[in-house]
Amino acid sequence: MSAENQWKNTDLVDESTSETTLLEVEDLMTHIHTERGTVRAVDGVSFDINRGETVCIVGESGSGKSVTCESLTRIISQPPAEIKQGRVTFDGTQLLDISEKEIRSIRGNRIAHVFQNPQSALDPVYTIGKQVVEAITIHEELEEDDARQRAIDLLRKVGISRAHERIDEYPHEFSGGMQQRAAIAIALAADPELLIADEPTTAVDVTVQARLIELLRGLSNAGMSMLWITHDLRVVAAIADRVIVMYGGTIVEEGPIKEVFTKPAHPYTQALFESYHGLADDSGRPAREHIPGDGCRFRGQCRFAVDECAGGNQPAFASVPDSSAHQAACVYYHNDRDPTQILEEATDARPIAPEVSDD
Amino acid sequence: MTENNEPLLSVRDLKTYYPITEGLLRRQVGSVKAVDGISFDVEAGETLGIVGESGSGKTTAAHSILRLVEPTEGQIIFDGQAVTDLSGKDLRNFRRRAQLIVQDPNEAFSPRMTIGEAVAEPLKLHGLSDQQRRREIVEDILERVGLSVEDVNRFPHEFSGGEKQRIAIARALVLNPDLIIADEPTSALDGRVQSDVLGLLDRIRREFNIAVVFISHDIDVVRRFCDHISVMYLGEIVEQGPVDEVISNPSHPYTRVLIGSVPSLDPEDRSLAKPLTDTIPDPSDPPTGCRFHTRCPEVIPPEGYNISHEQWQLLARFRFTLEAGELPEEVDIDLIDEPLDEAMVRSVFGLPESFSYGAVDATVSSAIEALISGDLDGAIDAISEEIVTPCEQTSPAMIEQDGISVACHRYDPAKAGSPLSWTGGRTTSPIEHD
């Protein structure tokens, strides 16, 4: 996908879905069993990622965004977690059905993970080089010298200067940003088709984040698909082709980045955008939020809530007016209701002005 | 309470150095100048944000003010008293009036103490022995921070991160302080919870007229919470002033880089600021003159250089990239198989065939020649002896202008450079709204 085409032509994508879809998630449900009962962390989540596309899942702590991603390749610990149901199809393979051995050959090979804390990917007792070489040779038989050269090339590719010298250093000799680059190098060792990045820039300075965003944007332009998890709408704006908004274990809105950012449609998405404005006026939002386990999970905090919002599953997706690819899981977008009053709120919440008034 | 016009907290030329020791005898061989001569005032009830990258010294500054680390030099005056002279009862009294909130609420609470005990503990330590009275105060304060009376008997692990930070605020409030030093209090929180806790802290400090020194790496959070801002780089304050003015029209090039690095909420504006070099210099051996000059996109050209800003930037980036050891590997003679040619070096650094100011051509050529022969040090010597910026020669003085203080030679009328306009590559500052 070329850079000019980053606002994807939605009609094209719809027509050719079967050819371009790399990952398809259908009705994924992951529960976490705790002493105090079962948490339905992911409660019926479906989405696709196309080849070469960068999809961001945005949500707050507890929204289920990380559990979703850790369920895809089954890296989540079971127990306490339990993947209850769903289908995850990666290039024709059912990731939830295949054996542990098979999933391991896909994980790290065709799908790689990067986490918030690079220390989780780096072992403090081995040099950076040894760890990158190991990641390379797990997937490919190479002579020692060749593997080392490949490791240097990889470190160089992720922007580590003097890689030929720094390859023999230990993780603690690297700054936080450099550690994250090394972790990305390890993730890239097998040339994955899909990179799943869970808050990869949250622990680093904004100046370092800017460079990591540029680095990952470059990898995406070179054809790699990315699933990027973040709580930060600014990072979403900087990197995503398409955005998925999660709340209470469900997806409440999804669509092309420009449309979601111009016209946030679900009341929750609007609330998220509002939190970027001034200070919360502390207008009675309780410190402990109670998220219902059925119906629209946001209804307790939504001033548009009606009886219909309760019961059953999160309301089905319906298209936001004027854009079939932009969908909200909110009853107001269903046929028999008028979303105008909610979309008027979007005018206040939206972080950017639509082009029409931009003169 | 402060009764006169003196600020509540006044910090003058504060320095805190950490010794670097070597060998068994722990002989001191140098020092990290974590905080190196900073000055600021905080009025009663006012909020000051201190921002900077990691390693800028902002947390050390916070800890020095509370004397959690001993300052090496300088004055800290709190309500007319020199904090550095306090001991015994006076120090305890100061620590009642000045409270700390830390980033990770998990570090702030003992897992074996109920929330009620944790919040009451400071009262007990400071001599309130009436248990019933303690309980009343704690219940009142928990309600003020949005929790409930029933929470007093619960343990920290039963609370979410946002709730724990509310409890930390409650515990800081319980002694009725005049100053709260909040070190990244919302950095572990996200989205609406972050916004709620910021809102709570703001409401409380207005209600009780508490001054807040707010330490954060997140300039956008500081914009939302603070009245004033101080921007720190390698132990020094480079710019300070009212937050709205500094953020909508930043003067110091470092402030501009920080703001320009925050992604815009407009997905069609994906530009990000870029310093000349990425490496933050070693704080035990900071650059001479202005400490930011090795990364500064607005570094001043030598006097008499008749050169466009773009060309000068290329030249400066060439020099500081070599010095920072960020030599691109395409031009590293040790790594490439084919012989390196001049055209390659010029294209990697974007250097033109010849500069509009021809006097630098010979210098550039000799540096490139040294690079081609594999002599990196020779290349660095060639270019850094000839191309000397005034920014590395003297430390910039703090210049005051319309309420904003900035330590940059470009703002010093006695120096060669003049201020550049701020665009950040964008039409508006990425973190402004409305």
Domains and CATH numbers, chain B: 9-113+156-248 (3.40.50.300), 309-388 (no CATH)
* Residue A5 pLDDT exceeds 60: no
* Residue A356 pLDDT exceeds 60: no
Report the candidate in A229, A224, A245, A261 with the shortest Cα–Cα distance to residue A314. A245
**For residue range A138-190, what is the model confidence (pLDDT) as tens digits?**
877 888 788 888 888 888 777 777 778 888 888 888 877 788 888 888 888 88
pLDDT score for A19:
56
Residues from chain B contacting residue A271 (CB–CB below 8 Å): 192
Paired residues of A31 in beta bridges: A82
Q: Which residues, including other chains, have CB under 8 Å from residue B102's CB and lie 6 or more apart? A: B108, B168, B183, B184, B185
Q: Do B202 and A279 touch (CB under 8 A)?
A: yes
* Residue A47 pLDDT exceeds 90: yes
Report the candidate in B200, B196, B227, B224 with the shortest Cα–Cα distance to residue B213. B227
* Residue A323 pLDDT exceeds 90: no
Report the candidate in A335, A5, A95, A73 with the shortest Cα–Cα distance to residue A227. A73
Contact A182, A155 (CB under 8 A): yes
Q: Do A232 and B190 touch (CB under 8 A)?
A: yes
pLDDT score for B335:
67
pLDDT score for A283:
53
pLDDT score for A16:
42
Q: Which residues, including other chains, have CB under 8 Å from residue A353's CB and lie 6 or more apart? A: A262
Residues from chain B contacting residue A279 (CB–CB below 8 Å): 195, 198-199, 202, 224-225
- R_g (Cα) of chain B, nearest Å: 25
Strands A250-256, A242-247: pairing is antiparallel
**For residue range A331-353, what is the model confidence (pLDDT) as tens digits?**
888 877 888 888 887 776 666 54
Which residue in the set B161, B263, B329 is minimally distant from A213, CB to CB? Answer: B263
pLDDT score for B396:
92
Q: Do A287 and B198 touch (CB under 8 A)?
A: no
Contact B234, B57 (CB under 8 A): yes
Given CB atoms, is A161 within the 8 Å cutoff of chain B? yes
Residue A118 tokens read as 């690079």
Amino acid in the structure at residue B198: L
Strands B179-183, B211-216: pairing is parallel
Which residue in the set A60, A164, A210 is minimally distant from B261, CB to CB? Answer: A210
Residues from chain B contacting residue A59 (CB–CB below 8 Å): 191
- In angstroms, rounded to a whole number, what is the distance separating the alpha carbons of residues B237 and B397? 11
- In angstroms, rounded to a whole number, what is the distance separating the alpha carbons of residues B268 and A353? 11
Given CB atoms, is A157 within the 8 Å cutoff of chain B? no
Average pLDDT over residues A195-206: 86
Q: Do A207 and B257 touch (CB under 8 A)?
A: yes
Contact B407, B396 (CB under 8 A): yes
Domains and CATH numbers, chain A: 1-110+193-248 (3.40.50.300), 119-191 (no CATH), 255-281+290-357 (no CATH)
Q: Do A258 and B195 touch (CB under 8 A)?
A: no
Q: What are phi and psi of B221, to 5 degrees?
A: -70, -40
- In angstroms, rounded to a whole number, what is the distance separating the alpha carbons of residues B205 and B212? 8
Task: For chain B, 434 residues long, give each residue's pLDDT as a single digit of tens.
Answer: 445 578 999 999 999 998 888 877 778 888 888 999 999 999 999 999 999 988 889 999 999 999 999 999 999 999 999 998 998 889 988 988 999 988 877 777 888 888 888 888 888 888 888 888 888 888 888 888 888 888 888 888 888 888 888 888 888 888 889 999 999 888 878 878 888 888 888 988 998 999 999 999 889 889 989 999 999 999 999 999 999 999 988 999 999 999 999 998 889 888 898 899 887 888 888 899 999 999 999 999 888 888 888 888 899 998 998 888 777 767 776 666 677 788 888 888 888 888 888 888 888 888 888 888 888 888 888 888 888 899 999 999 999 988 899 999 999 887 777 888 876 545 445 555 44
- In angstroms, rounded to a whole number, what is the distance separating the alpha carbons of residues A129 and A154? 10
* Residue A15 pLDDT exceeds 50: no
pLDDT score for A348:
67
Over A214-279, what HEC string results?
HHHHHHHHCCCEEEEEECCHHHHHHHCCEEEEEECCEEEEEEEHHHHHHCCCCHHHHHHHHCCCCC
pLDDT score for B62:
92
Q: Do A275 and B192 touch (CB under 8 A)?
A: yes
Which residue in the set B200, B217, B224 is minimally distant from A205, CB to CB? Answer: B217
The mean pLDDT value of chain A amounts to: 82
- In angstroms, rounded to a whole number, what is the distance separating the alpha carbons of residues B146 and B102? 19
Contact B370, B285 (CB under 8 A): no
Q: Residue with structure tokens 């009705």? A: A27
Average pLDDT over residues A243-266: 92
Element containing residue B27 per DSSP (H, E): strand B27-42
Report the candidate in A175, A172, A177, A217 with the shortest Cα–Cα distance to residue A200. A177
Contact A170, A127 (CB under 8 A): yes
Interface test with A, best of B142, B265, B336 (most A CBs within 10 A): B265
Contact B180, A221 (CB under 8 A): no
Long-range contacts formed by B16-25: CB under 8 A, 24+ apart: B16/B57, B16/B60, B16/B61, B16/B64, B16/B69, B16/B70, B16/B71, B16/B72, B17/B72, B18/B60, B20/B284
**For residue range A259-290, what is the model confidence (pLDDT) as tens digits?**
999 889 899 998 888 888 766 655 556 667 78
pLDDT score for A357:
34
- In angstroms, rounded to a whole number, what is the distance separating the alpha carbons of residues B431 and B261? 10
Amino acid in the structure at residue A108: G
Residues 193-222 in A contacting B (C-alpha not used; CB under 8 Å): 205-211, 213-214, 217
Q: Do A352 and B267 touch (CB under 8 A)?
A: yes
pLDDT score for B214:
94
Å between A275 CA and nearest CA of chain B: 5
Report the candidate in B152, B137, B192, B208 with the shortest Cα–Cα distance to residue A287. B192
pTM of the model: 0.87
Amino acid in the structure at residue B262: V
Mapped onto helix, strand or coil, the DSSP state of residue A202 is: coil
Å between B129 CA and nearest CA of chain A: 30
pLDDT score for A359:
33
User: CA B8 from chain center: how many Å?
Assistant: 22
For A91, A109, A186, the CA distances from A191, given in Å and listed in that order, are 16, 7, 10
